[in-house]
Amino acid sequence: MAYDKNSCIESCHLKGVAGMNSLRIAFIVLACVLLTGLIISLVSANTLSRRLMNLQLDYRFTGNELRALTAERDTLADINAFYRIREDSLDLLSYRLDSLQARMQEIELRENYVGYYLLIDTHQNRFHLRRNLGDGNDVLIRSGYCGTGKGWTDNDNGQAWNFSTPRGIRYIVEKGEHPYWYRPDWYWEEMNMIPPEPDEYIVIPDTISWDEQISYYHDSLTASERVFVQRVPGALGSYKIDLGGGILIHYGVGRGRNVSHGCIRMGSSDLDALYRSLPVGAPVIIY
């Protein structure tokens, strides 16, 4: 094929013209966008200026008064933010101090106590069953996930409860099999319901066995009827370990999270192991 120099030059020229046209179009579009933004900014500034003038005329505020009010508003906002930060810091500091004290009690316990004891980590939601052998050896027996208190919660009526698991050292005061859960008033109030009167409770017959009561609760009652059962069989699992003050170790869901109303929730197999290992009087350190 013959090489046509003039044709090549013309082609390059046409490409250059096309490229220049594309750049020119892009420049025009960009200029229009910038001009539109400038017009919008000017209109907004003019609108704000008129609003400020109207505010000065309507309320007879001078510029100095407006600046003073603005400074006062900003100062109050800063103070409010400061107190919110301090409040959060105090809660965090209290949590750390309680946890530190509990860990110090754990160190003292290892020096003076021989036998099984339990550690509850409310931050990681884990438990550690340990045994001090009394000869300088302290061994881990079992470890796993548990559920602990969810902290502050409220309902639509403005009622609030602190469902945190208390930190520190406690001792097992009682153990029991086949426990019942007695629903307190806050169970209904948390769901924005009015607690039923005693004569409105649905009572499961205690003339049948504990396993039959559980079946009766789940199979013979509707969901709306179960809400009115105050003494609930099986909700806490097969065992309970009472730490006093309304704090129990029992079966429950949500392990690994802060989900409970202050109690410590365990899986069935873990609860069984703790129930069989920990005697009444054994220490439980919660941090």
State whether residue 49 is helix, strand or coil.
helix
Using only C-alpha atoms, the chain has a radius of gyration, in whole angstroms, of 35
90 inside domain:
no
Residues in Cβ contact with 84 at an 8 Å cutoff, skipping those fewer than 6 apart: none
pTM exceeds 0.75, yes or no: no
Of 43, 60, 77, the residue at which a domain comes to its end is 60
> pLDDT per position in the chain (287 positions), as tens?
444 544 544 454 444 445 455 556 665 666 666 667 656 666 666 666 666 566 556 655 566 665 666 666 667 666 666 555 555 566 666 677 777 787 788 888 888 899 999 999 999 999 999 999 988 899 999 999 999 999 999 999 999 999 999 999 999 999 999 999 999 999 999 999 999 999 999 999 999 999 999 999 999 999 999 999 999 999 999 999 999 999 999 999 999 999 999 999 999 999 999 999 999 999 999 99
66 inside domain:
no
Q: Are residues 204 and 133 in the same domain?
A: yes
d(CA 261, CA 150): 6
Round to the nearest angstrom and report the end-to-end CA distance of the chain. Answer: 89
Q: Are residues 53 and 138 in the same domain?
A: no
Q: Are residues 123 and 219 in the same domain?
A: yes
Rounded to 10°, the helix 63-112/5-59 angle is 100
79 inside domain:
no
Q: What is the CATH number of the domain that holds 140?
A: 2.40.440.10
Q: Are residues 280 and 168 in the same domain?
A: yes
pLDDT score recorded for residue 110: 83
Q: Are residues 124 and 228 in the same domain?
A: yes
What domain count does the chain have?
2
193 inside domain:
yes
How many helices (H) and strands (E) the chain has is answered by 6, 15
Q: Are residues 34 and 151 in the same domain?
A: no
Q: Are residues 37 and 166 in the same domain?
A: no
106 inside domain:
no
Strands (E), 83-194: 115-121, 126-132, 138-145, 148-149, 151-154, 160-163, 168-171, 174-177, 180-182
Are 78 and 91 a contacting pair, CB within 8 Å? no
182 inside domain:
yes
Q: Are residues 159 and 22 in the same domain?
A: no
Give 3-state DSSP helix, strand, coil % of the chain, rounded to 5.
50, 25, 30
Q: Are residues 133 and 19 in the same domain?
A: no
Cβ burial of 119 (10 Å; 0-12, 13-18, 19+) is buried
d(CA 49, CA 40): 14
